[in-house]
Amino acid sequence: SEEKSLNFIEEIVEADLKSGKYSSIVTRFPPEPNGYLHIGHAKSICLNFGLALKYGGKTNLRFDDTNPVTEDTEYVDSIKDDVRWLGFEWAEERYASDYFEQLYGFAVQLIQKGLAYVDDSTSEEIAMQKGTPTQPGTNSPFRDRSVEENMTLFAEMRDGKYKDGEKVLRAKIDMGHVNMHMRDPIIYRIKHAHHHRTGDTWCVYPMYDFAHGQSDAIENITHSVCTLEFIPHRALYEWFIEQLGIFPSKQYEFARLNMTYTVMSKRKLLQLVNEGFVNGWDDPRMSTISGMRRRGYTAPAIREFCDRIGIAKRDNLIDVGLLEFCVREHLNKIAVRRMVVFDPLKVIITNHNGETEMLSSENNPEDLNAGNRDIPFSNELFIEKDDFMEVPSKKYFRLAPGQMVRLKSAYIIRCDEVVKDAVGNITELHCTYIPESKSGSDTSGINVKGTLHWVSAKHAVHAEVRLYDRLFKVEDVGNAEGDFKDHINTDSLEVIPNAFAEPALAMDSAEDRYQFLRKGYFCLDKDSTPEKLVFNRTVTLKDTWAK
Ligand code: ATP
Ligand code: MG
Ligand code: MG
């Protein structure tokens, strides 16, 4: 097999194993349960779980649930679902909230070492004290409280004696530090809020920076991988670990995935849901894992995409076309072929007796084990309206008066007569078929250039088909002018309410993947009922956006 070069994080892991720094590795995927996972998270999942799989270590799924206001169990469940669907299993399911008592203890330790203090300043005052990147900050008037006073006040904060914002606990580091994050950061705040797991037990909650590294250390995480915006937090991450003398987890940063024509922040995705621009988190146009899954993307295709884009050290914008390419490539191998007519034109075969004739067609020419299916043929068929031209142009190889085409896996037909209604609209075509031209045993000697998909009118099943386009009109939504919602493509969903499908489709299940011949790749949507099938177009057959 082809030797792939290591990414920079794999290089670090290999060096750490080789030097004996670690005998095995522990990674974690740490989502905040405040929304559904998106394709950017898939990148992080593939990286973290992939490292452990490759080097024989383990990966924890840790819910970073330190902000009671925005978090919810619905999100926890969806996240677990999505990680499993992507094909990964975690070693342990952990919650930062399980460590609240331990984290509180760490804060007490800092107070006792004279490294943390309770501050009564308002958030505005603290912001002023911080200074600017080019100017040092100033000390808070509460910075020199005694250890005893801090111990009492912090205990009172926990006991609920104070209102939200009345007091905070700050690390006592250096208000003149070049790194703004080191200027006495807030590590605990008061929040009288109900937590999705700990209920009303707590009214003080640790800040992200005080929870993340310590949670890593508690779990003996060896390589804590996060995205580039955490580079300035790394000094603080290390400072806490050092002062507390806990397991020396190390933070490494890689570039977050950004993709064209989409947004990926949970905050923005939540707005799309709440303001009705899409129909829920799993709307097939969303960049969420659940949306992509509903749309028919496959987990192997998403993993392949994450693998191909690699691990970068600089922010970049990945072409969504690459993801679609990976999806198309996988679906071409596994999708069963079916025929569906979206916009029907009736064809009467005048020389056919009308009895149902069963024809056979391969399910997937890419997969010899996929077998065949039966397709009924009769004297009334539907073809696609735009596969007929009354006055054809020169290179038109589809159907036209006097012209012949092959019906896929069936016969060659010739158009003899165009039937119109009183106002001149074409209502049906009268055609003859060539009985000797049956696919697989064609002795007619006739060569035709066009092959059309079709269905037998009386055997066809009805289906709604949903065609999706990009949700945004601009490539780089994150850097486009104005509000991101100004760039929404209002034509991103086209519904074909009544398509005609060959009957084999009615017997398939939601896990199946289809190629509707000449139309694209499709899957059954969860809105389907036995009475009404609904299909989503997963991706077109070719990149229709290629310039
Ligand atoms: P969002 O801005 O979408 O809310 P987040 O980083 O706040 O993202 P978390 O739930 O904290 O979301 O993310 C869990 C993990 O996934 C983190 O380690 C984070 O770095 C990683 N992650 C999030 N978004 C991306 C992305 N676009 N590309 C790569 N990794 C990401
Ligand atoms: Mg986060
Ligand atoms: Mg976030």
290 close to ligand 1 (CB < 6 Angstrom) = no
293 close to ligand 1 (CB < 6 Angstrom) = no
Q: Tens digit of pLDDT for each residue in 318-353? A: 999 999 999 999 999 999 999 999 999 999 999 999
7, 28, 41: which to mutate for ligand 1, most atoms within 8 A of CB? Answer: 41
- pTM higher than 0.80: yes
| Res 422 pLDDT > 70 | yes
Confidence of residue 399 (pLDDT cuts 50, 70, 90): very high
Average pLDDT of the segment spanning 85-99: 98
Distance CA 441, CA 468 (A): 39
- Compute the distance from residue 267 Cα to the ligand 3 centre, in Å: 7
| Res 99 pLDDT > 50 | yes
- Compute the distance from residue 11 Cα to the ligand 3 centre, in Å: 28
ipTM for the whole complex: 0.96
What letter would DSSP give residue 45? H
Confidence of residue 70 (pLDDT cuts 50, 70, 90): confident
Distance CA 502, CA 269 (A): 37
Average pLDDT of the segment spanning 360-388: 94
Residues that place a CB less than 5 A from ion ligand 2:
32
33 close to ligand 1 (CB < 6 Angstrom) = no
Return the SS3 of 293.
helix
In the chain the first and final C-alpha atoms are separated, in Å, by 33
- Compute the distance from residue 89 Cα to the ligand 3 centre, in Å: 23
| Per-residue confidence (pLDDT) for residue 72, from 0 to 100 | 86
CATH classification (class only), 340-453: mainly beta
| Per-residue confidence (pLDDT) for residue 368, from 0 to 100 | 85
- Compute the distance from residue 197 Cα to the ligand 1 centre, in Å: 22
Residues of the chain with CATH 3.40.50.620: 8-254
Q: Which ligand approaches the C-alpha of residue 255 most closely?
A: 1
Residue nearest ligand 1's atom 9 by CA: 31
Angle at 13 between CA 257 and CA 239, to 5 degrees: 80
Q: Tens digit of pLDDT for each residue in 189-214? A: 999 999 999 999 999 999 999 999 99
HSE (CB half, 13 Å, CA atoms) of 521? 27
| Per-residue confidence (pLDDT) for residue 530, from 0 to 100 | 84
Q: Tens digit of pLDDT for each residue in 252-282? A: 999 999 999 999 999 999 999 999 999 999 9
Which atom from ligand 1 is nearest to the alpha carbon of 265? 3
What letter would DSSP give residue 234? H
Give the dihedral of Cα atoms 498, 504, 505, 509; nearest 10 deg. Answer: 150
Binding-site residues for ATP, in ranges, read: 32-34, 38-44, 227, 256-257, 264-266
Better-predicted residue by pLDDT, 145 or 544: 145
Return phi, psi of residue 38, to 5°: -120, 180
Contact 450, 406 (CB under 8 A): yes
Binding-site residues, in ranges, read: 32-34, 38-44, 64, 208, 227, 256-257, 264-266
Residue nearest ligand 1's atom 26 by CA: 40
HSE (CB half, 13 Å, CA atoms) of 119? 25
Confidence of residue 1 (pLDDT cuts 50, 70, 90): very low
Which atom from ligand 1 is nearest to the alpha carbon of 48? 18
**Number of neighbours of residue 24 by Cβ within 10 angstroms:** 11
Q: Which ligand approaches the C-alpha of residue 83 most closely?
A: 1
**With respect to CATH, is domain 266-336+463-539 assigned 1.10.1160.10?**
yes
Average pLDDT of the segment spanning 244-249: 98
HSE (CB half, 13 Å, CA atoms) of 235? 12
31 close to ligand 1 (CB < 6 Angstrom) = yes
Q: Tens digit of pLDDT for each residue in 146-189? A: 999 999 999 999 999 999 999 999 999 999 999 999 999 999 99
- Compute the distance from residue 34 Cα to the ligand 3 centre, in Å: 8
Confidence of residue 5 (pLDDT cuts 50, 70, 90): confident
Residue nearest ligand 1's atom 16 by CA: 41
Confidence of residue 544 (pLDDT cuts 50, 70, 90): low
Which residue type does 191 have?
A: K
> What CATH architecture does domain 8-254 belong to?
3-Layer(aba) Sandwich (3.40)
| Per-residue confidence (pLDDT) for residue 545, from 0 to 100 | 55
Which atom from ligand 1 is nearest to the alpha carbon of 230? 20
Residue nearest ligand 1's atom 23 by CA: 41
Average pLDDT of the segment spanning 63-78: 92
Query: Going along 115-248, which residue ranges are E strands?
Result: 116-119, 168-171, 186-190, 204-206, 223-227
| Per-residue confidence (pLDDT) for residue 531, from 0 to 100 | 85
Residues belonging to the active site? 32, 256, 266
Pairing mode, if any, of strands 93-95 and 58-63? parallel
Residues of the chain with CATH 2.40.240.10: 340-453
256 close to ligand 1 (CB < 6 Angstrom) = yes
Average pLDDT of the segment spanning 500-513: 83
| Per-residue confidence (pLDDT) for residue 209, from 0 to 100 | 97
Distance CA 493, CA 249 (A): 46
Residue nearest ligand 1's atom 1 by CA: 265
44 close to ligand 1 (CB < 6 Angstrom) = yes
Residue nearest ligand 1's atom 4 by CA: 266
Residues of the chain with CATH 1.10.1160.10: 266-336+463-539
Which atom from ligand 1 is nearest to the alpha carbon of 225? 18
| Res 547 pLDDT > 70 | no
Q: Tens digit of pLDDT for each residue in 220-241? A: 999 999 999 999 999 999 999 9
- Compute the distance from residue 477 Cα to the ligand 2 centre, in Å: 21
Better-predicted residue by pLDDT, 444 or 72: 444
| Res 510 pLDDT > 70 | no
Distance CA 233, CA 244 (A): 17
| Per-residue confidence (pLDDT) for residue 328, from 0 to 100 | 97
- Compute the distance from residue 227 Cα to the ligand 1 centre, in Å: 7
Average pLDDT of the segment spanning 449-475: 97
